[in-house]
Amino acid sequence: MKQARLTVLSEMRPQTSLDTLWSAEQQTVVRDRILADRSSPAKTRPNRRRRAALAGAVALGLVAVPGVATAVGSGMKPQAFFDAYDYWNDNSAGTVDPTTATRAATAPGPYGGSFSVLTARNGDGLTCIGPVFESSTSAKAQLPDDFEDGGSFCHTDPSTRPFGFDTAGFTDTAIVWWAHAGVAVRAELRMPTGETYPVVLVEGVLFGWYPLPFRAQEDRPTLTGYASDGTAVGEIQI
Quick: pLDDT tens for 131-161: 999 999 999 999 999 999 999 999 999 999 9
Q: In what order do the strands lie in the sheet with 164-170?
A: 68-71, 164-170, 175-180, 205-210, 199-202
Helix (H) and strand (E) counts in the chain: 4, 15
pLDDT for 49: 33
191 SS3 class = coil
Quick: pLDDT tens for 206-234: 999 999 998 888 999 999 999 999 999 99
Hey, how many other C-beta atoms are within 10 angstroms of the C-beta on 14?
A: 13
In which domain, by residue range, is 6 found? 2-237
* 122 half-sphere exposure, CB direction, 13 A CA radius: 16
Residue 222 to residues 106, 190, 210, 225, 227, Cα–Cα distance (Å): 21, 5, 11, 10, 17
Strand residue runs (E) in the chain? 68-71, 77-78, 102-108, 114-121, 127-134, 146-149, 153-155, 164-170, 175-180, 186-190, 196-197, 199-202, 205-210, 222-226, 232-237
Question: How many domains is the chain built from?
Answer: 1
pTM of the model as a whole: 0.72
Q: Environment class of residue 144 by beta-carbon count within 10 Å: exposed (0-12), middle (13-18) or buried (19+)?
A: buried
Quick: pLDDT tens for 54-78: 333 333 233 333 344 444 555 778 9
| C-alpha span between 49 and 53 (Å, rounded) | 7
